[in-house]
Amino acid sequence: MTFAVVVFPGSNCDHDAYYAVDHVLGQKARFVWHKDTSLGAADVVILPGGFSHGDYLRTGAIARFSPIMPAVQEFAAAGRPVLGICNGFQILTECGLLPGAMLRNRDLKFHCELVNVRVERTDTPFTGLCTAGQVLRLPIAHGEGNYYAPPETMDALEASGRVVFRYSTAAGEISEGANPNGALHNIAGICNEGRNVVGLMPHPERACESAVGSADGLVLLESVTGALAHQGALQAVAR
Amino acid sequence: MKARVFVTLKPSVFDPQGHTIVEALHSLGYRDVADVRQGKFFEIDLNVAGPAAAEKLAAEVADRVLANPVIESFRVELT
């Protein structure tokens, strides 16, 4: 299985994603430069964290016009799995693959810490091996992760079960105190209508080995690997 | 032609920077400053003839790139 990790100028978690896929998960990872127009062989696309184009104008605002983005849009439209982490999530909202936008953190501080994130939905390719309500310990590192969407979009997200992750306490309670950035409804991650495009502010790829403080993020990569293997087996039977 | 584009957060969107600035002003004693909203300001040179074409082009780039319509609104002024 091949994971394409898109590299933008200013990406800084591209190597973390590559390492997590290649060294920990044991699957193949490939870097794809943002100026390429094709993803090449890819089963999963990761838009990594970082500060693409220096966060000029708005986070993700310039990256969304990168030459690679039409190929990412096409990949997503075909129902194939796309994961946007942190800046990757910001790029997904800017390019319209996911709704909403990111505001500055409510306290204007850059938050770099381990937080608790409750898995709300297991019906996405990246959370299939989680249990609903499972609390993951994941790092965040962002100044603009304060998720906002207009009320009608928030209603639609909640009604269609598209909030995938929420900031919570260690016991899984959703509270203001557990919300590091002021995100509406404690949203840490969402998915698109097709459920194949997932964006989240926390960094699962930086939490794949207990030596770095948490291995809770690995389940996202294992989930998508399992989902694709299952899909492949079904297709083989159909043939 | 030159255009100025002002981008601000929509009134319904909380502006944490503006809020911090107004609190700082209050602590300096400027009690009559009721509210501050922080925004962005762009000066754009346009190679087009006539104000109508300039306004149209400036509004297009503001809507497509300079502002994020989910959270921001913009205003164009020709100079």
Query: What was the pLDDT predicted at A90?
Result: 97
Here the ipTM equals 0.86
User: pLDDT tens across A83-105, in order?
Assistant: 999 999 999 999 999 999 999 99
Residue type, A21: V
Please answer yes or no on whether A148 and B66 come within 8 Å at the CB atom. Answer: no
Domains of chain B, residue spans? 2-78
Q: What does the mean pLDDT of chain B come to?
A: 95
Whether A100 and B68 lie within 8 Å, measured CB to CB: no
Amino acid sitting at position B76: V
Please report residues of B whose CB lies closer than 8 A to that of A65: 65
pLDDT of residue A97: 98
Q: Looking at residue A201, what is its pLDDT?
A: 98
Of A205, A199, A203, the C-alpha closest to A92 is A199
Average pLDDT over residues A45-69: 96
Residue range B9-31: mean pLDDT, rounded: 95
Which residue carries 């209508």 as its tokens? A193
In order, the DSSP letters of B38-78 are -EEEEEEE---SSHHHHHHHHHHHIIIIIS-TTTEEEEEEE
- How far is the alpha carbon of A96 from chain B, nearest alpha carbon, in Å? 10
Kindly identify which residue of chain A lies nearest to residue B42, measuring between CA atoms: A57
pLDDT at A238: 84
Q: Is the pLDDT assigned to residue A110 strictly greater than 90?
A: yes
Interval A67-82 mean pLDDT: 98
CATH of domain B2-78: 3.30.1280.10
Interatomic CA distance for residues A162 and A130, integer angstroms = 16
Exposure class string for A178-190: b at 16+ Cβ within 10 A, else e? bbbbbbbbbbbbb
pLDDT of A153 strictly over 90: yes
Mean pLDDT, range A19-24, rounded to an integer: 98
**Which of A55, A58, A157 to mutate: most B Cβ within 10 Å?**
A58
- Rounded Cα–Cα distance for residues A182 and A140 (Å): 14
Burial of B41 per CB tally in 10 Å (0-12, 13-18, 19+)? exposed
Residue of A nearest to B18 (CA): A108
In the residue annotation, A176 being an active-site residue is answered as no
pLDDT tens track for A195-238: 999 999 999 999 999 999 999 999 999 999 999 999 888 888 88
Alpha helices in chain A (DSSP H): 14-19, 69-77, 87-94, 151-159, 218-238
The number of residues making up chain B comes to 79
pLDDT at A151 over 90: yes
Closest-CA distance, A62 to chain B, in angstroms, reads: 8
CATH of A2-238, one of 3.40.30.20, 3.40.920.10, 3.40.50.880, 3.30.70.20: 3.40.50.880
Is A58 in Cβ contact with B70 (below 8 Å)?
A: no
Residue % of chain A over a pLDDT of 90: 96
Q: Measure the CA dihedral A31/A229/A138/A73, to 10°.
A: 50
**CB contact (8 A) between residue A103 and residue B12:** no
Summarize the confidence of residues A105-124 as an average pLDDT: 96
Region label for B31, one of left (φ > 0), alpha (ψ between -120 and 50) or beta (otherwise): alpha
| A86 classed as catalytic | yes
CA dist list (Å): B27 to A93, B16, B33, B34, B36:
37, 17, 11, 13, 14
Residue A231, exposed/middle/buried by CB under 10 A (0-12, 13-18, 19+)? middle
Distance, in Å, from the CA atom of A80 to the CA atom of A3, rounded to the nearest integer, reads 12
User: A106 touching B, CB under 8 A?
Assistant: yes
Q: Which of B9, B20, B66 sits opposite A108 (nearest CB)?
A: B20
- Residues of chain B contacting A105 with CB distance shorter than 8 Å: 16
